[in-house]
Amino acid sequence: MRRATALLDPLHRVDHLLFVAVHRGLGLRPLVSFLSLVSRLGNGSIYLGILFYLVARGGSYAVLHSSATALLGLALYKLLKQLVGRPRPCEVILELVPAVPPIDRWSFPSGHTLHAVSFCVLLASWAPELLPLALPFAALTGLSRVVLGLHYPFDVAAGGLLGYAIAEGMLKLFGPA
């Protein structure tokens, strides 16, 4: 496994520099409270709200489909985190104190971003009227993970791509009813 990680070392160095530039140089600190709220919503409560909305619309199949997609995403990102074992920025940059405590030890990929993007893809099929809210939420979720000191930009990009791929795959397999 170390060989695979060694192949990514140049990417990790660039990613680290991007993280430092965002975290220290762009003056995003005033957004921390707002982005902390976005991140907390991404812990699951916003998705429960979406599921209740879908049930109210008579979309029980959509709820099962969304739940299966979320469980698959959870299993895959937890497996990847264990396989890759990339430490969070706050473990590498010792003077960095994350704005919110991390939920687990590893950084790659961002599970918050994975779920936010996968729900956007599903909502495009199940409840497109929610996309004007869901798309900015997904983008802000990814931004929040970097600004709050919990992920590198590449972690967020990988989480978003994985979330997109999982949701598209689930739509192809089980499609809208």
Tens-place pLDDT, residues 24-44: 655 566 777 788 788 888 777
151 is catalytic: yes
pLDDT for 85 equals 86
Contact between 117 and 158 under an 8 Å Cβ cutoff? The reply is no
49 contact partners, CB below 8 Å, separation of at least 6: none
The mean pLDDT value for 50-67 works out to: 82
Contact between 36 and 148 under an 8 Å Cβ cutoff? The reply is yes
CA dist., res. 100 & res. 80, Å (int) = 22
Task: Determine if the pTM surpasses 0.95.
Answer: no
Higher pLDDT, 124 or 18: 124
Out of 19-23, 60-64, 135-139, 166-170, least confident range: 19-23
Number of folded domains that form the chain: 1
pLDDT at 1 over 70: no
Which one of the listed residues 23, 65, 112, 115 is annotated catalytic?
A: 112
Which one of the listed residues 23, 65, 115, 151 is annotated catalytic?
A: 151
Contact between 1 and 140 under an 8 Å Cβ cutoff? The reply is no
Per-residue model confidence as pLDDT tens digits over 135-175: 999 999 998 888 888 898 999 999 999 999 999 999 998 87
Helix, strand, or coil (residue 30): helix
pLDDT for 32 equals 76
CATH number of residue 134's parent domain: 1.10.606.20
112 is catalytic: yes
DSSP for 110-167, written as a single string = -HHHHHHHHHHHHHHHH-GGGHHHHHHHHHHHHHHHHHTTS--HHHHHHHHHHHHHHH
Which residue segment(s) compose the domain that 127 sits in?
2-174
User: Among residues of the chain, what percentage have pLDDT more than 90?
Assistant: 32
pLDDT for 11 equals 73
Confidence category of residue 113, pLDDT binned at 50, 70, 90: very high
